[in-house]
Amino acid sequence: MTPQTTIDAGTEFDRQVDNLVQHEYPAMAGMTPERFHELVAPLRPVAVNAGNLDHDPGAGRLPFLLVVQRQVVPIERTMPRTTLHGKAKPGFVDRSFEPGSLERFVAVKEIDLTDRPAYLLFGIERGEEFCGAVPNDAMDTIAARGRTLLTIEEGIAVITHFPEVLVKNKCFSLGGSRCGDRRVPAIWISQNAPKLGWCWERNPHTWLGMASAAHRNGV
């Protein structure tokens, strides 16, 4: 486990922007790096105004994430840009998602997701306390705490900016994206790479928790 440290929010925001540029998000969105910087620049003061934030990636706790909406870069393109920490094998979308099904996994109404192309997510927890819990029960507990479930895009942002968060037996579900049935998306490790798949809402897994965050903020 990495020690808890304090980071400068502005420096961390700049790192995440540069990280997305290195992962070719501007190119995938059909824009120049300069245009991408302009797109996300209004979010920097939002991060800075949050102050210096504690973070502990080894324990699955993150200060904030810069999230890019799927309308800007599709999930099918962002997931292959992820890797495990220190590895090179690209992440992938599991074949259990039938063709076209990812488009139906949208943010649940409780989230009231912004329509802005990019936004910030604050106070993220990997949620390993829910490993072995029934996903429905975990989601109810998180709601009772006044926290918000993560969407698929936000889960991808977690492992894009902090790949060290995804480790064996501490993977996470993404209850913020649903398609109206019993499936709950999740990211775990398969074939030595990150995999976006899904599990049933009433089936617990000892290695799969439920990720959540404190709040979102866009401009």
Residue 163 has pLDDT above 60, yes or no: yes
Of 207, 217, 216, 153, nearest in space to 185 by CA: 153
Contact 48, 57 (CB under 8 A): no
d(CA 63, CA 57): 9
Phi, psi of 180 (to 5 degrees): 95, 0
pLDDT, one tens digit per residue, over 117-158 is: 999 999 999 999 999 999 999 999 999 999 999 999 999 999
Is the pLDDT at 19 greater than 50? The verdict is: yes
> 208 - beta bridge partners?
171
Binned at pLDDT 50, 70 and 90, residue 2 comes out as: very low
Average pLDDT value for the chain: 94
Q: Where are the alpha helices (DSSP H) in the chain?
A: 9-22, 25-28, 33-40, 44-49, 75-78, 135-144, 152-161
Residue 169 corresponds to which tokens in the numbers above?
A: 């037996």
Residues 6+ apart with CB under 8 A from 144: none
Number of domains into which the chain is organized? 1
Residue 10 contacts residue 63 (beta carbons within 8 Å): no
pTM of the model as a whole: 0.95
pLDDT digits (tens, 9 = 90+) for 5-16: 778 899 999 999
Q: What is the pLDDT of residue 3?
A: 47
Contact 150, 175 (CB under 8 A): yes
| Per-residue tokens: 137 | 């029960």
CB 20 within 8 A of CB 39: no
Residue type, 128: E
Q: What is the Cα–Cα distance from 85 to 58, expressed in whole angstroms?
A: 11
**Distance linking the first and last C-alpha atoms of the chain:** 34
**For residue range 68-113, what is the model confidence (pLDDT) as tens digits?**
999 999 999 999 999 999 999 999 999 999 888 999 999 999 998 9
- Residue 4 is predicted with a pLDDT of 52
Domain range for 183 is 5-217
Q: What is the pLDDT of residue 52?
A: 61
Give residue 195's pLDDT.
98
Question: Which amino acid is located at 109 in the chain?
Answer: K
User: Above 80 in pLDDT, residue 166?
Assistant: yes
- What single DSSP character describes residue 162? -
Cα–Cα dist 16/159, whole Å: 12
Which token pair is 9?
């929010």
Predicted pLDDT at 54 = 66
Local confidence band at 51 (pLDDT 50, 70, 90 cut-offs) = low
Tell me: the pLDDT tens digits for 175-208? 999 999 999 999 999 999 999 999 999 999 999 9
pLDDT at position 1 over 60:
no
- Cα(183)–Cα(195) distance, integer angstroms: 15
Distance CA 56, CA 59 (A): 5
Which residues fall within 8 angstroms of residue 99, CB to CB, at 6 or more apart?
A: none
